[in-house]
Homo-oligomer: A and B are copies of this chain.
Amino acid sequence: MKLLIADDESKLRQLLSDFFKSEGYEVALAADGREALEIFNAAPEDVSLIILDVMMPYVDGWRVCKEIRKTSRVPIIMLTAKSEEADELESFEKGANDYIPKPFSLNVLLARVQARIEKPAAASEPANVLRYNGLVIDQDTHEITLDGKPLNLTPIEYEVMVLLIRNKGKVYSREQLLSLVWGYDYYGGDRTVDTHMGRLRSKLNDFGVKYLKTIRGYGYKLDN
């Protein structure tokens, strides 16, 4: 599913692009009406839906909408500035399928888009899950289970585990851990790391003592 998004504000354009891409859509961008028409006419069949800002240089959204309607019934959603409280009727008259006043919430926009076209291969999301010897970390739901039993880790513990599991076997010094997990500008003693490792080990039980290794003189690692 390909969306054509036309807006002259580059920041908003980027935001929308990122957002819809993250929702699984293909996105083509236009900075003004002329560009939008060019892109559309180059491959009308590829475009499943068009989002048009009303206010654009050279050729405004209304014009684009009218032009496209001469040759196509592709769904069009107009974005109108609040001040332009354009007549809803006028919007539909020009052939738009929907219109949304700025500012809008991405959620609403997404809903409107989905109402117009089939949902894209939503299942394409690769489910953000890390696994390691019975330990499962789902980064979307923030759920951690060990052999199926849920664990309750604090934010720091969680971050440490994610880091270590992502780099199984790699040894991290206390300084590295502090800067990676706590933040590059963290200022504090490195006994802190020990304490947290201890807490992790006790929560992880067997798993902890078995795999969370101390490398004397260097730091910690998750055994391979």
- Cα distance A185–B217 when bound, in Å? 19
Query: C-beta contact mask, A78-115 vs B, less than 8 Å → 1, else 0?
Result: 00000000001100110101000001111110010001
Indicate if A181 sits at the interface (CB-CB under 8 A).
yes
Contact with B along A136-179 (1 / 0, CB 8 A): 00011111000000000011000100110000011100000001
Known: A15-B89, A15-B93, A19-B92. A184 touches B217 (CB 8 A): no
Docked pose: A186 CA to B126 CA in angstroms: 30
| Contact for A159 among B108, B141, B154, CB less than 8 A | B108
Identical subunits present: 2
List B contacts of A143 (CB < 8 A). Answer: 169, 224
A28 within 8 Å of B by Cβ? no
Distance of A89 Cα from B181 Cα, bound (Å): 27
Check: A215 CB closer than 8 A to any chain B CB.
Answer: yes
30 A-B pairs within 8 Å (CB atoms) are namely A12-B184, A15-B89, A15-B92, A15-B93, A88-B106, A88-B107, A89-B103, A89-B105, A89-B106, A103-B183, A103-B184, A103-B185, A103-B186, A105-B181, A105-B183, A106-B180, A106-B183, A106-B184, A107-B162, A107-B163, A108-B159, A111-B139, A111-B162, A140-B170, A141-B169, A141-B170, A141-B224, A142-B171, A143-B169, A143-B224
Chain A contacts to B: CB under 8 angstroms = 11-12, 15, 18-19, 22, 88-89, 92-93, 95, 97, 103-108, 111, 115, 128, 139-143, 154-155, 159, 162-163, 169-171, 179-186, 215-218, 221, 224
* Nearest 3 pairs of A and B residues by beta carbon: A155-B217, A141-B169, A105-B183
